[in-house]
Amino acid sequence: MYINFMTEQNKNIYISYWLLLITLFIAVMIVVGGITRLTDSGLSITKWDLFKGIIPPLSLKQWNQAFLLYQEIPEFKLLNTSMNLHEFKAIFWWEYAHRLLGRLIGLVYIFPLLIFTVLKIITKKDLLYFYSIFLLICFQGFIGWYMVKSGLSESTDVSHYRLSLHLVLAFIIFLLLILKYFKLKNKNYLIKKKSLPFYLPLIFTFLILLQISVGALVSGLDAGQIYQTWPLMNQRYFPDDAAISDLFSLGIFEIPSIVQFLHRNIAYFILLMFLSIIIIVFKNMDFFHLRKITLVILLTLLVQIFLGILTVISGAQIILASLHQIGSIFLFATSIFLVSKNSKTS
């Protein structure tokens, strides 16, 4: 019955809108997750109730029960013994919003996908792609709980390694969704164009993802709250509480100052690499179709570096740190668009 109006173009439109919606949800999820981390709210809900957890405490008795559970973990016993119920509610709502968004993303993703499957709107090849993303979304939920669990018994905080894994996986899901969205949008405009050499956009995008993972380590170790100076780290290029040999040790990611040092220098390397891409694009008319997006990326990259500097100087002030994370989403999205535009069939 749907054949009369379900043209190939209409199918792509429906799928594109769905992908764009989910991608936006993922972006919001990343931002809320970042604020949850910055406000130390991530351990406020100590149980993982997939269905019961949808309903927050509604009575004073339920709030007291939730607060009593929080009082049993090291974070409260060692850091927040003076916290009252009102202050607990403030951190509870951030973690609750983060988990509720996760559930909502799963529902908004799977139900349209099932409808598209029944109506045969999606090809068999793409079905595998989209259901694989759904499995990643489910796995992301498990990793989120695996991360929270690391801070409930022996530590006052979550594992910074698990935090980094949790964030990187969110960006990988974001990448898979938005890359497919760009591909569908460009499907009707397949013109062969010359590509940049050496897969430069891919390398650039990978470096941004690497920088995001190191940024999560910075956040997890509260490394952004030390060495609140730029361009030097307390009058030195290399931090004075570490040795050069630490860069080659197995515990390199356990030293906050070293992690901040790496985060700074990866940013410098990314900027230098992209400047080389800019030079290649503007020196060769074959890459004229890439000029607009490279200028957008350059502007985004400069703003992101500026926000990073302000975040360091402020000691990771919440608003600036959150804007810095939002900037990473825009930078990552534009780099993916460059990858798409650089395709020989884009």
The per-residue DSSP string of 302-338 comes to HHHHHHHHHHHHTTS-HHHHHHHHHHHHHHHHHHHHH
Write down the pLDDT at residue 346. Answer: 44
**Number of separate domains in the chain:** 2
Task: Indicate if the pLDDT at residue 18 is higher than 50.
Answer: yes
Task: Indicate if the pLDDT at residue 1 is higher than 50.
Answer: no
Q: 129 and 226: one domain?
A: no
Local structure of 194: helix, strand or coil: coil
Q: What mean pLDDT do residues 246-259 have? A: 91
User: Cα dist. 329→96, 269, 310, 317, 324 in Å?
Assistant: 22, 19, 18, 19, 9
Task: Indicate if the pLDDT at residue 177 is higher than 60.
Answer: yes
Task: Indicate if the pLDDT at residue 196 is higher than 90.
Answer: no
Average pLDDT taken over every residue of the chain: 90
Give the span between the Cα atoms of 76 and 67, in whole angstroms.
10
Closest by CA to 181, choosing from 23, 298, 59, 287, is 23
Write down the pLDDT at residue 342. Answer: 86
Q: 308 and 185: one domain?
A: no
Band of residue 166 on the pLDDT scale cut at 50, 70, 90? very high
* Residue 56 preceded by cis peptide, ω within 30: no
**Angle in degrees, CA 297, 302, 305, rounded to 5:** 120
Write down the pLDDT at residue 2. Answer: 44
Express each pLDDT in 65-109 by its tens digit.
Answer: 999 999 999 999 999 999 999 999 999 999 999 999 999 999 999
Domain that holds residue 132: 1-189
| More confidently predicted of 30 and 185 | 30
Q: 184 and 161: one domain?
A: yes
Q: 143 and 203: one domain?
A: no
Where b means 16+ CB within 10 Å and e means fewer, 273-302 reads ebeebbebbeeeeebeebeebbeebbebbe
Task: Indicate if the pLDDT at residue 21 is higher than 90.
Answer: yes
| More confidently predicted of 122 and 305 | 305
User: 286 and 259 in contact (C-beta within 8 Å)?
Assistant: no
Q: 163 and 302: one domain?
A: no
User: 311 and 224 in contact (C-beta within 8 Å)?
Assistant: yes
Q: 344 and 217: one domain?
A: yes
Q: 173 and 247: one domain?
A: no
> Among residues 135, 168, 189, which one ends one of the domains?
189
Write down the pLDDT at residue 10. Answer: 73
Q: 150 and 6: one domain?
A: yes
> What's the predicted TM-score (pTM) here?
0.92
> Among residues 189, 209, 234, which one ends one of the domains?
189
Write down the pLDDT at residue 336. Answer: 95
Q: 181 and 213: one domain?
A: no
- Among 88-97, 102-111, 151-160, 271-280, which stretch is predicted with the lowest mean pLDDT? 151-160
In 41-125, which ranges are E strands? none
> Among residues 169, 189, 209, which one ends one of the domains?
189
Alpha carbons within 13 A on the beta-carbon side of 78:
10
Contacts from 65-73 at CB under 8 Å and sequence distance 24+? 66/92, 70/43, 70/44, 70/46, 72/46, 73/43, 73/46, 73/151, 73/152, 73/153
Q: 184 and 212: one domain?
A: no
Q: 237 and 146: one domain?
A: no
Q: 216 and 142: one domain?
A: no
Cα 91 off chain centre by: 21
Which residues 6+ apart lie within 8 Å of 247 measured at CB? 258
